[in-house]
Structure 1
Amino acid sequence: MKILLLILFFFDACTSLHSVGGKKINYDVFPEEKELTSLTIELDTAIFRYPFRIRICGNKAVVMDLHNTDYYYHMFTYPEFTYLSSFGKKGEAPSEMLSADNIRFSNQHEAWTLDANKTQLVRLGFSLSGSGDSLLSREVVSLDNDILRALDFSIYNDSTFIIPDYSGKNRFCWVNRHGHLINRIGSIPTFNKDALKYSAPALAQAWRSFIDYNPCKDVLAVVTQLGEVLEIYNLKDTTHTVCVGPHGEPEFRQSKGYAVPTGIMGFSDIQVTDHYIYTVFHGRTFKELGRQKGHVIDGGRYIYVFSLKGEPVCKYNLDRYIYGIYVDESRGVIIATDVNSDQPLVEFRMAHSEI
């Protein structure tokens, strides 16, 4: 009976988000604006091609490398960053990966990876060997065909995942441990109602988002890769907040059913801590990016910090372009990846007033 009540509560909470209009916050400036200088993290190995994401749990750090020729993931000790091993071998064999789209620690002993091209989530467990720590496959979960092109995910609990919905019908898919779609929630908070009605899949492509979920606060936060939109879903009280910056919502034109970006590059990463929401923001137009010659600079030079309710807190102006972040509030630092550098891992010391 208790299990049935929990299931009913879960679906009631998720379904109620459909009807919440959502609080709107338009922000132009941040109460604090500070300059941050990076400190290069010296590594004992040179293995990166395009270090896109970094995840840290306990004394382990994993860097996701999008364009590596052999392995998608590289593991280090934390905070020393001594190289341990690489895993997620690139290839078409059953035990190999066709793509790497994200990695999430579920605890200090295991992590989940997403392979969008194989439509699979894979649970990896730590194994101690003579050559150091490594992660080995423990479970493979194939996703339902109803889940259209899963490009990101978060772990909701031991039996449920949250995956963005790219059908355009809703905002998120709730997926169980067997890969089955169990519910959809939310909708794209766009003013372009014609696109939502007549070309929802293209609109969903333009609204491609990066997500993060904090189970302690029951807060799911979402940022758009194009434009400047942050959404906050408080799953405890079922409220929905939409924060829109000066660049507005994603801009695009349609071509043969696909969305072609026409505005700006927006956010590239997000983390929800127990105190704040941290995001990496680019803010450069595609015209500006197209004018680059020679060595192309990729990434954003800003970290935006918001409260868990969506109020702007602090804008960090960085001395380099970065892509992915991990915020360690206990140490007061942000670890970031720089895809433009031969020394791609850097550290920033945080400086907003309440840290």
Structure 2
Amino acid sequence: MLVALTACTPAPRSEGLAYADFPQTIELKGKVIPLDTALFRYPFRIRVQGDKAVVMDLHGQDYYFHLFHYPNFSYQTSFGRQGDSPEEMLSAENIRWNGEHLWTLDANKSELMRLGFDLSGDSLLPQEAVSLDKDILRTLDFVMFDDFTFIIPDYSGDNRFCWVNRQGKLLRKTGTIPTANEEALKNSRPALAQAWRSFIDYNPHNRVLAAVTQLGEVLEVYNLQDSTHVVRIGPYGEPEFQVSQGYGIPTGIMGFSDVQVTDSAIYAVFHGRSFKEIGRNAQKGILTDGGQYIYVFNLKGEPLRKYVLDHYIYGISVNEEKGIILATDVNKDEPIIKYYM
């Protein structure tokens, strides 16, 4: 029933608006959370549910995920072992809590996996594997729309999102890349889709889906309740790229690296550093990675405030009720940082 109703939802009404700055800028100083074990190579995502926190290591050596007790961050266990057996993973792109269950995404296997806790509550075990339809190009992110449906970015360039059922079957595609680059739309859609790679999040309470571009400075807000679509373009503009042998090669800036839709706002980690600057720093041995800003928008995509951080971060977990932002810093041996808003 839910899938049938979703399929009948009218196409979003799009509105494109630019923003130049934020009305409020706030500097935040973080507290490094001490850990009792060294685990990480590239702590990319952090997700908190109740008294559990999971940190995803994008380049994990043996395991991709590490479970901690929250809020003291005492280590519990690691899972998502690297390997090619049915219960092992070839890669890890993202993790999502859904009630007491955790979903993981393996792009190299083109598979979503649901995990649940054992009787002790200390370990997560695989409970369900969803092999994604072959018509879906390499999947790099996902959200749960409901218990039966996933939303996945479409990297064919033809649309913006794929809607996929619990069996991994492609139900439909929606949206288009909101670019002004007519030449790329006409002749280089796969390269355009690569350049417009976006990180997404969805809040079922307000039915707001947000997408932020990894390159450039573009936020899209899809309100799936009233079928509106707002595109907010910042000073750095659309993702910049060149086409080489069918691939999109980035030439502009590193943009966003994570986004979270809360009940009242949209939080996004922003880098804003050009690839030229990153290259020059690398030559000097300066290898700092991540973004020093968290941008906050309202649910219509209007800028509210900009947080300037004392760490360079990649992933965030926002708790508005307690006024806490947890972040991951890939440059530190103790990579979990707590900020008070």
2:8 to 9, 12, 16: 12
Does residue 102 of structure 1 match 2:94? yes
Partner of 2:118: 127
1:73-112 to structure 2, matched below 5 A, reads: 73-107=65-99, 109-112=100-103
Partner of 2:301: 310
Partner of 1:353: none
Q: Encode CA deviations 1:38-75: one digit per residue, 9 max, x unaligned.
A: 11111111111110000111111000001121000000
Q: CA deviation at 1:93?
A: 1.5
Residue 290 of structure 2 aligns with an amino acid whose one-letter code is G
Contact in 2 for aligned 1:39/1:347 (Cα 8 Å)? yes
Contact in 1 for aligned 2:3/2:149 (Cα 8 Å)? no
Partner of 1:209: 198
Q: CA deviation at 1:12?
A: 1.9
Equivalent pairs, count: 339
Contact in 1 for aligned 2:67/2:75 (Cα 8 Å)? yes
Distance in structure 2 (CA, Å) of the matches to 1:9 and 1:338: 41
RMSD: 1.0
Partner of 2:217: 228
Partner of 1:238: 227
Partner of 1:56: 48
* Structure 1 length-normalised TM: 0.94
Distance in structure 2 (CA, Å) of the matches to 1:133 and 1:259: 43
Helix, strand or coil at the partner of 2:209: strand
* Structure 2 length-normalised TM: 0.98
Contact in 1 for aligned 2:267/2:296 (Cα 8 Å)? yes
Q: CA deviation at 1:136?
A: 0.4
1:262-301 to structure 2, matched below 5 A, reads: 262-292=251-281, 293-301=284-292
Gaps of 5+ in 2: none
Helix, strand or coil at the partner of 1:211: strand
After superposing on structure 2, the runs of 4+ consecutive aligned residues of structure 1 that deviate more than 3 Å are: none
Does residue 335 of structure 1 match 2:326? yes
Partner of 1:70: 62
Contact in 2 for aligned 1:234/1:240 (Cα 8 Å)? yes
Helix, strand or coil at the partner of 1:9: helix
Helix, strand or coil at the partner of 2:128: strand
Gaps of 5+ in 1: 351-355
Percent of counterpart pairs with the same letter? Answer: 63
Residue 147 of structure 1 aligns with an amino acid whose one-letter code is I
Q: Encode CA deviations 1:165-220: one digit per residue, 9 max, x unaligned.
A: 00000000000000000011100000001101111000000000000000000000
Residue 125 of structure 2 aligns with an amino acid whose one-letter code is L
Distance in structure 1 (CA, Å) of the matches to 2:149 and 2:183: 33
Residue 55 of structure 1 aligns with an amino acid whose one-letter code is R
